[in-house]
Amino acid sequence: MDIVIYHNPECGTSRNVLELIRHMGIEPHVVEYLKTPPRRALVAQLVARMGVSVRDILREKGTPYAELGLDDPSLSDDALLDAIEAHPILMNRPIVVSPAGVKLCRPSETVLDLLPTEGLKPFTKEDGEVVVDSDGRRVR
For 14, residues 6+ apart whose C-beta sits below 8 A from its C-beta are: 5, 7, 8, 93, 94
Asked whether the CA dihedral 43, 44, 47, 48 is positive or negative, the reply is: negative
Q: Give catalytic residues, as residue numbers.
A: 11
Q: Enter the DSSP assignment of 59.
A: -
Query: What are the backbone angles phi and psi of residue 103, rounded to the nearest 5°?
Result: -155, 140
**In contact, 111 and 105? CB cutoff 8 Å:** yes
